[in-house]
């Protein structure tokens, strides 16, 4: 009887994951009624996988070909994928990014993310809000700058100057 009840709890937790698109932060799971112990049991048994600290997903979700973008979007919901990461997503470069570039507002204080590597870039409100698209990938969604905005910005000398200036600041370094 105890084993049956425990399995019912796990099944209900998996249903919560499915109802939320297959990806949940720990805080969202707890708010939805999943006890942390059940979450960790599901992870340890392979029924959910840990994308990054505090972000879990059902394994083998169809359509997630950018799991790092989805994981970062869960941790930084107000961020927008930008620069080299956006170029790569839109297939405008063959260079594979070694980190995820994320644009954030100047007043935002981002969380510390150990994996995947993330570079934060602080943008003014006017630049931050223009050309943003929402992309859904299977179970998750993320914001990214549009192809035209990304390609125009990558060619702009002012944008290159901004890029060089942000690279010289400590706050542009990967979070640790």
Exposure b/e, 92-122, CB count within 10 A at least 16 = b? eeeeebebbbbbbeeeeebeebeebebbbbb
Q: CB neighbours of 130 closer than 8 A, spacing ≥ 6?
A: 149
Residue with tokens 């972000």: 55
Q: Which segment, 106-115, 139-148, 149-158, is predicted with the most confidence on average? A: 106-115
| Backbone φ, ψ for residue 10 (5° rounding) | -65, -40
Q: CB neighbours of 113 closer than 8 A, spacing ≥ 6?
A: 52, 53, 72, 75, 76, 175
pLDDT for 63 = 56
Residue with tokens 């112990």: 37
pLDDT in tens, 141-151: 789 998 877 76
Task: Say whether pLDDT at 174 is over 70.
Answer: no
Domain regions of the chain by residue span: 2-57, 67-172
Q: Which helix (H) or strand (E) holds 134?
A: strand 132-137
pLDDT for 173 = 45
pLDDT in tens, 10-67: 999 999 988 888 888 899 899 999 999 999 999 999 999 888 788 888 887 765 567 7
Concatenating the DSSP letter of every residue in 53-104 gives TTEEE-TT-TT-S-HHHHHHHHH-TT-EE-HHHHHHHTTS--PPPSSEEEEE
């Amino acid at each position: 009887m105890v084993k049956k009840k425990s399995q019912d709890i796990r099944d209900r937790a998996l249903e919560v994951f499915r109802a939320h698109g297959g990806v949940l932060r720990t805080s969202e799971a707890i708010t939805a009624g999943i006890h942390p112990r059940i979450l960790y049991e599901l992870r340890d048994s392979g029924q959910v996988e840990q994308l990054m600290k505090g972000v879990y997903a059902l394994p083998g979700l169809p359509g997630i070909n950018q799991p790092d973008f989805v994981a970062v979007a869960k941790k930084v919901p107000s961020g927008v994928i930008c620069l080299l990461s956006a170029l790569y997503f839109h297939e405008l470069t063959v260079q594979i990014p070694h980190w995820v570039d994320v644009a954030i507002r100047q007043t935002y204080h981002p969380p510390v993310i150990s994996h995947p590597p993330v570079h934060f870039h602080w943008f003014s409100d006017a630049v931050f809000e223009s050309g943003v698209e929402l992309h859904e990938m299977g179970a998750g969604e993320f914001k990214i700058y549009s192809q035209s905005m990304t390609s125009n910005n990558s060619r702009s000398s002012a944008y290159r100057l901004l890029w060089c200036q942000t690279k010289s600041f400590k706050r542009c370094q990967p979070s640790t």
